Amino acid sequence: MFPLVIDVPAEFSGKAIELVTQKKGDMLVMEPKGDLQHLEFDIPSRGLIGLRNNILTATAGNAIMTHRFREYGPFKGDITERMKGSLISKETGSATAFSIGKLQDRGRFFVSPGTELYKGQVIGENTRDNDLDVNVIKGKQLTNMRKSGSDAAIVIAPKIDFSLEESMEYIQANEYLEVTPSSLRMRKISYR
């Protein structure tokens, strides 16, 4: 168990409490200290993974958070995972702007055009709760015939970059996190 202390402006205290309790934290103390709200919790170590970024986002960067290890405690139950599925590459090769542009309505991507991918790699987050195999390697079919207006510029949303901590929080039970000197990649444990 870790004692967790958060000092946050009063208008953000409710959101901070909600985020910590979702991670199996128990509130021990809530008291005003000047213009800040002083909150103390007991939280399991696995509940701390990813919590810092969520707290800073929810409080617009106004939270001060500290924690330290105190003792081993009993298992507090499962912590909820993300509710959305993964977009999985079903081919090995280099991602193309054409394919990513066509599949943007399916979800958010963690890769950009030109990124080398392999079969089974998690390359994005599905908008729905199921996993979806996608082919972002396929390029535009090149022919001699062109239609006017068909070669409009492809607008691609910027890829999502994860830190190591964010990646550890993001992966589900059936996914691995690969850590190399040059990249962090997620993949499905068993992929056909």
Domain that holds residue 157: 86-188
Residues 126 and 165 in one domain: yes
In the chain, how many domains are there? 2
49-62: per-residue pLDDT in tens? 878 888 988 999 99
Domain-located, residue 136: yes
Interior angle at CA 180, CA 178 and CA 185, nearest 5: 35
Of 178, 190, 171, whose CA–CA distance to 119 is shortest?
Answer: 190
Q: 158 with 101: CB under 8 angstroms?
A: no
Residues 63 and 6 in one domain: yes
Q: In the listed set 37, 67, 97, which residue is the last one of a domain according to the structure? A: 67
CATH number, domain of 177, equals 2.40.50.250
Enter the pTM of the model.
Answer: 0.69
Contacts of 128 (CB under 8 A, 6+ apart): 84, 85
Q: In the listed set 67, 102, 121, which residue is the last one of a domain according to the structure? A: 67
Comparison of pLDDT for 1 and 63, the residue scoring more: 63
Domain-located, residue 79: no
Beta strands in the chain (DSSP E): 2-9, 26-33, 36-43, 64-67, 86-89, 93-94, 107-109, 116-117, 121-126, 132-134, 175-179, 184-188
pLDDT band at 172 (very low <50, low <70, confident <90, very high): confident
Of 46, 58, 154, 47, whose CA–CA distance to 109 is shortest?
Answer: 154
Residues 97 and 54 in one domain: no
As a whole number, mean pLDDT of residues 126-132 equals 90
Predicted pLDDT of residue 59: 92
Residues 62 and 90 in one domain: no
